[in-house]
């Protein structure tokens, strides 16, 4: 039996013929297993959706309660079996509810990791390595230049800048699901207990995180108040809001952007970011390679990102690897 | 090294002058000697190593990692120092992180063979940001948008003194500037500025207000001369030290050895640095060929010989002339230049006039030859002493009216800092017929000021409402014969340029009016611009 008999790439996503389901399909299908709530992985309109309860809650929050025909809730550690194929969920450490889908059939194990990271994140459960025959990995930051620094250091440079420029506001561009809450939580851990102002687009997800036990501290909408009120304030907003007319209400804002892409200076310059914060929810090069080194799977499949460099690394390590060239996942902005 | 790297990073991404000053001042306040002094030296360009050639760095990294992976990485990042800083394999606990002082001290005594080993050791010990700063320094060139003047201003802010006071002592100081900081922090007396060859803070002119000033000023009180279109310099030759400074005190002697060689005098001349071809001033474009070059190119120096056109004399022998009236300094200058007797140092002639109307006529229609490319006229009170800064009254500049054309907005780019949510940098074009006789817009320049905040909001809205395509931070805006936004663009001069598709390059372009009323098809033709080209 070949691994391709259990999972194979199709135009709509990674498909399991014996189980008749897709993992993170990019178009509506009858049965879908969803690894996490980011829009490029979790889309509305499937028949049955199997996912962690947190991911199901995120999808309901984003798309409405009728986002799928039926839901199948799988907490971490739980499994279901369909047509003899067993599917289980194991934490991926990417965002709240993110999971690796562990697919077992006739003694073969394939782990579809979805998006993942290995470092500590106070807003979600940590990645758990699962021994497997095939490990399906992302490669968003699959180049040796991507080495994310310690996030506490990045938060410290944000707080230093706030102290240095007390008459200005600091707007932190952060993706609404996951990154925003992680940045807020890291600020709290660093001792910032003042009110953090948030963009309207992230309020519902913030509340959802709080319902799941992530304490974000005092938050307030960034829409009320005069310019003066925002002097010395930290505002968290989706990255697109930085360049938007929305940001003009704030006093001489320092544009900050929390993203792994900020590691490369030209990227920061191109976006007009004044204070780049290298904080990523994806594995960096060292995390990708050390994960593969730790698991030593029989085979590595690479879903999306910079697959050629990771393929090359596997070749140098004698780990068979191939790029699946799945389309539909955001490579640039999809954090 | 980490704090230094962090400072460089912040400076390179910050556009506001005040924010840069805050960043530098805070760093100088929080960092001990001698580290801060070496950082100040690095920022002011007083510290440059050519310790590591790019080829060596490349070889060193390729010995440590897969060549193919490095190639992809370099390809992605595009900057060798940054790529190597990021991909250099970490060796945790390899060595203690060096600070900048340690790097400077070690390089000073190291032999050529030791240098490479030292650099590799430091790269092993540093984190990516530290490696980046080190490599930028080693390969010569920080390029973080900080002028020496700005760094000196930050020093002045640190000590709560005027920048002139810092500039006067600057050239008596050497890195790591322990004496300077001791004075700025009130721990010692001000160092003596009396070093031979030092810079004297420059006197600048106010712009004349035609409506007000001419009514109250007596033409008999003023001397007039052309405002030459080069760069203002101070040429100091004192007790064997020869230096050429810009008006902000940057030492550019190394770029102009031909001028330094001609400075066979004892004194300090205030003048204009120009390319002088057979005694006549050439265009600013010619001078630009010589500016900002690290290495001096003999061929270039022969093709564009530089010289000084003297305006004023600040020092003659050991005598400081700055407290004398301009009339007296001028008399002494004329004799001084005559004695030097070198075609590379000549005199800016005084233009006689009786009434302001005479002068207005001269400015409107300069005589044939080099006055045609002057920027305008300077007015100096005959009794004015040489006073640093920009005092109101003694000196005026009266620039020529700018050229004006009507051009169509083609592309808009987002600004920086306060303007990062606005499309505030505009590329505009004029009409040109292509080979089929169709009129098309060809870009002729770029401008990002000249409008009010209110107008900026309106243009920003226009850009957002009429975007045709987006490329990163740039939007292309609808601009065709039937629709487009017309700007009246003012500029100082026009030169031929092979780097621009249109073949012309504007000097100092800015938006003078927004012509919401003007149909795009009535904007100017490229041929109109070509007729304005300088001789």
- Summarize pLDDT for B253-304 with one digit per residue, the tens: 999 999 999 999 999 999 999 999 999 999 888 898 898 777 788 999 999 9
Q: Does A112 lie at the interface with B, CB-CB under 8 angstroms?
A: no
Residue B119: inside a domain:
no
Last residue of a domain, one of B347, B380, B399: B399
Query: What residue has token string 């030092």?
Result: B198
Mean pLDDT of chain A: 94
At B271, which CATH number? Answer: 3.30.470.30
Number of H helices, E strands in chain A: 9, 19
Q: Which residue of A has its CA nearest to B77?
A: A264
Give dist(CA B89, CA B425) in Å, integer: 41
Q: Does B31 lie at the interface with A, CB-CB under 8 angstroms?
A: no
Give dist(CA A200, CA A220) in Å, integer: 10
What number is the average pLDDT over the span A170-176?
Answer: 96
* Strand extents, DSSP E, B278-332: 280-281, 306-316, 319-320
Q: Which residue of B has its CA nearest to A269?
A: B13
CA atoms within 13 A on the CB side of B152: 21
Backbone angles phi, psi at B103, to 5 degrees: -60, -50
Q: Does A1 lie at the interface with B, CB-CB under 8 angstroms?
A: no
Give the model's pLDDT for residue B92. Answer: 67
Q: Which of A26, A24, A27, A28 is nearest to A51 (CA)?
A: A24
Residue B61: inside a domain:
no
Give the model's pLDDT for residue B111. Answer: 80
Query: What total number of domains does chain B contain?
Result: 2
- Summarize pLDDT for B461-472 with one digit per residue, the tens: 999 999 999 887
CB atoms within 10 A of CB A306: 22
Same domain, B407 and B321: no
Interface of B with A in 122-141 (CB under 8 A): 127-129
What number is the average pLDDT over the span A1-22?
Answer: 94
- Summarize pLDDT for A260-281 with one digit per residue, the tens: 999 998 889 888 899 999 999 9
Percent of chain B having pLDDT more than 70? Answer: 98
Give the model's pLDDT for residue B94. Answer: 61
Chain B residues near residue A242 by CB distance under 8 angstroms? 420-421
Nearest-5° angle of CA B45, CA B48, CA B53? 140
Chain A residues near residue B14 by CB distance under 8 angstroms? 274
Q: Which residue of A has its CA nearest to B474?
A: A270
Chain A residues near residue B459 by CB distance under 8 angstroms? none
Give the model's pLDDT for residue B353. Answer: 95
At B529, which CATH number? Answer: 2.40.50.140
Same domain, B329 and B219: yes
- SS3 call for A118: coil
Residue B117: inside a domain:
no
Residue B96 confidence (pLDDT) above 60: yes
- Summarize pLDDT for B193-242 with one digit per residue, the tens: 777 888 888 999 999 988 889 999 999 999 999 999 999 999 999 999 99
CB atoms within 10 A of CB A162: 21
Give dist(CA B189, CA B179) in Å, integer: 9
Q: Is the pTM of this model over 0.80?
A: no
Residue B89 confidence (pLDDT) above 60: yes
Mean pLDDT of chain B: 90
Last residue of a domain, one of B351, B382, B399: B399
Q: Does B77 lie at the interface with A, CB-CB under 8 angstroms?
A: yes
- SS3 call for B218: coil
* Tokens (6 digits) for B228: 């030459």
Residue B97: inside a domain:
no
Q: State the pLDDT confidence band at B534, using cuts at 50, 70 and 90.
A: low
Give dist(CA B9, CA B315) in Å, integer: 42
Same domain, B394 and B410: no
* Tokens (6 digits) for B421: 């949510």
A309/B72 Cβ within 8 A: yes
Give dist(CA A247, CA B315) in Å, integer: 54
Chain A residues near residue B127 by CB distance under 8 angstroms? 149
Q: State the pLDDT confidence band at A334, using cuts at 50, 70 and 90.
A: very low
Percent of chain B having pLDDT more than 90? Answer: 61
User: Cα(first)–Cα(last) distance of chain A, in Å?
Assistant: 36
Give the model's pLDDT for residue A183. Answer: 98
- Summarize pLDDT for B471-495 with one digit per residue, the tens: 878 899 999 999 999 999 999 888 8
Task: Name beta bridge partners: B411.
Answer: B427, B476
Residue B315: inside a domain:
yes
Give dist(CA A122, CA B126) in Å, integer: 28
Give the model's pLDDT for residue A330. Answer: 61
A144/B65 Cβ within 8 A: yes
Same domain, B360 and B447: no
Minimal CA separation from B86 to chain A, in Å:
5
Minimal CA separation from A41 to chain B, in Å:
25
A244/B421 Cβ within 8 A: yes
Q: State the pLDDT confidence band at B112, using cuts at 50, 70 and 90.
A: confident
Same domain, B440 and B321: no
* Tokens (6 digits) for B39: 């950082």
Residue B446: inside a domain:
yes
Same domain, B257 and B289: yes
Residue A306 confidence (pLDDT) above 90: no
Q: Which domain holds residue B293?
A: 206-399
Q: Does B79 lie at the interface with A, CB-CB under 8 angstroms?
A: yes
Q: Evaluate the omega torsion of the peptide bond into residue A119 and state whether it is cis, within 30 degrees of 0.
A: no
Q: Evaluate the omega torsion of the peptide bond into residue A256 and state whether it is cis, within 30 degrees of 0.
A: no
Same domain, B394 and B408: no
Give the model's pLDDT for residue A335. Answer: 41
**Nearest by CB to B420, which of A164, A243, A246?**
A243
Same domain, B376 and B454: no
Task: Show the 3-state SS of B319-360.
Answer: EECCCCCHHHHHHHHHHHHHHHCCCCEEECCECCCCCHHHHH
Same domain, B433 and B350: no
- Rg (C-alpha) for chain B, rounded Å, is 26
Chain A residues near residue B78 by CB distance under 8 angstroms? 266
Same domain, B529 and B449: yes
Substitution target in A144, A170, A247, A307 with the highest count of B β-carbons within 10 Å is: A144
Q: State the pLDDT confidence band at B417, using cuts at 50, 70 and 90.
A: low
Non-local (6+) Cβ contacts of B107 within 8 A are: B49, B51, B115, B118
Give the model's pLDDT for residue B145. Answer: 76
What number is the average pLDDT over the span A149-175?
Answer: 96
**Nearest by CB to B87, which of A144, A244, A271?**
A144
Q: State the pLDDT confidence band at A332, using cuts at 50, 70 and 90.
A: very low
A164/B22 Cβ within 8 A: yes
Last residue of a domain, one of B365, B399, B433: B399
Same domain, B407 and B364: no
Q: Taking a C-beta distance cutoff of 8 angstroms, is the pair A215, A235 a contact?
A: no
Residue B316 confidence (pLDDT) above 70: yes
| More confident site: B225 or A243 | B225
**Nearest by CB to B86, which of A247, A255, A263?**
A263
User: Cα(first)–Cα(last) distance of chain B, in Å?
Assistant: 51
Residue B255: inside a domain:
yes
A242/B420 Cβ within 8 A: yes
Residue B176: inside a domain:
no
- SS3 call for B482: coil
Q: What is the DSSP letter of B190?
A: P
Chain B residues near residue A247 by CB distance under 8 angstroms? 420-421
A157/B13 Cβ within 8 A: no
Q: State the pLDDT confidence band at B251, using cuts at 50, 70 and 90.
A: confident
Task: Name beta bridge partners: A305.
Answer: A139
Q: What share of chain A is helix, strand, coil (3-state, %, to 5)?
A: 30, 25, 45
Q: Which of B414, B408, B363 is nearest to B519 (CA)?
A: B408
Q: Which residue of A has its CA nearest to B74?
A: A145
Same domain, B350 and B217: yes
- Whether the predicted interface score ipTM is above 0.85: yes
Q: State the pLDDT confidence band at B535, using cuts at 50, 70 and 90.
A: low
């Amino acid at each position: 039996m070949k691994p391709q008999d259990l999972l194979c790439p199709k135009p709509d996503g990674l498909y399991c013929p014996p189980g008749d389901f897709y993992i993170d399909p990019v178009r509506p299908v009858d049965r879908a297993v969803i690894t996490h709530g980011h829009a490029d992985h979790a889309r509305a309109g499937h028949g049955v959706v199997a996912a962690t309860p947190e991911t199901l809650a995120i999808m309901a929050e984003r798309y409405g309660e009728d986002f799928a025909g039926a839901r199948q809730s799988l907490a971490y550690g739980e499994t279901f079996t369909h047509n003899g194929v067993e599917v289980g969920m194991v934490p991926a450490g990417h965002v709240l509810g993110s999971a690796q889908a562990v697919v077992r059939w006739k003694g073969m194990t394939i782990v579809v990791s979805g998006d993942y990271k290995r470092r500590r994140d106070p807003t979600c459960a940590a990645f758990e390595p699962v021994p497997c025959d095939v490990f399906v990995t992302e490669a968003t930051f699959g180049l040796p230049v991507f080495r994310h620094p310690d996030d506490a250091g990045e938060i410290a440079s944000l707080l230093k800048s706030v102290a240095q420029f007390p008459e200005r506001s600091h707007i932190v561009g952060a993706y609404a699901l996951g990154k925003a809450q992680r940045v807020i939580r890291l600020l709290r851990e660093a001792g910032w207990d003042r009110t953090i102002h948030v963009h309207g687009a992230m309020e519902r997800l913030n509340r959802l995180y709080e319902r799941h036990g992530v304490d974000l501290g005092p938050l307030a909408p960034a829409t009320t108040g005069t310019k003066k009120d925002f002097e010395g304030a930290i505002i968290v907003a989706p990255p697109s809001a930085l360049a938007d007319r929305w940001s003009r209400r704030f006093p001489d804002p320092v544009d900050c952007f929390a993203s792994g892409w900020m590691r490369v200076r030209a990227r920061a310059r191109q976006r007009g970011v004044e204070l780049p914060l290298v904080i990523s929810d994806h594995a960096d090069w060292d995390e990708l390679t050390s994960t593969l080194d730790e698991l030593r799977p029989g085979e590595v499949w690479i879903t999306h990102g910079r697959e050629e460099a990771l393929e090359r690394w596997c070749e140098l390590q004698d780990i068979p690897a191939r790029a699946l060239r799945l389309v539909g996942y955001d490579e640039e902005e999809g954090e | 090294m980490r704090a230094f790297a962090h400072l460089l990073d912040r400076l390179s991404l910050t556009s506001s002058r005040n924010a840069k000053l805050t960043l530098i001042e805070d760093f100088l306040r929080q960092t001990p000697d001698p580290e801060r002094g070496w950082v100040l030296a690095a920022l002011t360009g007083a510290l440059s190593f050519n310790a590591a050639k790019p080829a060596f760095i490349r070889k060193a990294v390729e010995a440590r990692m897969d060549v193919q992976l490095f190639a992809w990485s370099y390809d992605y990042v595009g900057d060798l120092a940054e790529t190597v800083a990021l991909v250099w394999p970490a060796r945790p606990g390899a060595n203690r992180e060096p600070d900048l002082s340690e790097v400077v001290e070690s390089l000073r005594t190291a032999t050529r063979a030791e240098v490479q080993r030292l650099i590799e050791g430091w790269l092993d010990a540093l984190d990516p940001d530290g490696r980046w700063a080190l490599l930028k320094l080693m390969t010569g060139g920080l390029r973080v948008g900080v002028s020496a003047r700005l760094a000196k201003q930050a020093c002045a802010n640190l000590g709560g003194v005027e920048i002139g006071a810092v500039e006067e002592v600057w050239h008596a100081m050497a890195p790591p500037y322990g004496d300077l900081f001791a004075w700025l922090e009130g721990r010692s007396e001000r160092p003596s500025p009396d070093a031979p060859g030092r810079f004297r803070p420059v006197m600048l002119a106010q712009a004349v207000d035609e409506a007000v000033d001419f009514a109250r000023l007596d033409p008999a009180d003023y001397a007039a001369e052309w405002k030459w279109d080069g760069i203002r310099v101070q040429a100091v030759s004192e007790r064997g030290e020869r230096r050429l400074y810009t008006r902000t005190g940057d030492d550019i002697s190394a770029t102009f050895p031909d001028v330094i060689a001609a400075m066979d005098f004892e004194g300090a001349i205030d003048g204009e640095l120009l390319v002088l071809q057979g005694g006549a001033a050439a265009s600013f474009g010619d001078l630009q060929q010589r500016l900002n070059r690290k290495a001096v190119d003999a061929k270039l120096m022969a093709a564009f010989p530089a010289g000084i056109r003297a305006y004023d004399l600040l020092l003659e022998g050991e005598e400081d002339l700055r407290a004398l009236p301009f009339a007296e300094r001028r008399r002494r200058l004329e004799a001084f230049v005559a004695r030097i007797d070198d075609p590379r140092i000549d005199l800016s002639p005084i233009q006689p006039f009786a009434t302001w109307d005479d002068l207005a006529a001269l400015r409107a229609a300069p005589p044939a030859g080099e006055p045609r490319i002057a920027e305008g006229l300077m007015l100096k009170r005959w009794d004015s002493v040489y006073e640093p800064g920009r005092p109101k009254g003694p000196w005026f500049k009266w620039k020529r009216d700018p050229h004006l054309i009507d051009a169509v907005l083609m592309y808009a780019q987002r600004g920086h800092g306060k303007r990062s949510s606005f499309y505030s940098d505009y590329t505009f074009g004029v009409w040109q017929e292509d080979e089929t006789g169709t009129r098309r817009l060809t870009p002729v320049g770029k401008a990002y000021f000249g409008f009010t905040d209110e107008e900026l909001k309106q243009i920003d809205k226009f850009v957002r409402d009429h975007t045709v395509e987006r490329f990163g931070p740039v939007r292309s805006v609808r601009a065709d014969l039937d629709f487009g936004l017309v700007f009246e663009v003012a500029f100082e001069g026009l030169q031929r340029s092979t780097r621009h598709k249109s073949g012309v390059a504007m000097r100092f372009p800015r938006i003078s009016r927004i012509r919401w009323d003007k149909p795009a098809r009535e904007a100017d033709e490229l041929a109109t611009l070509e007729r304005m080209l300088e001789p």
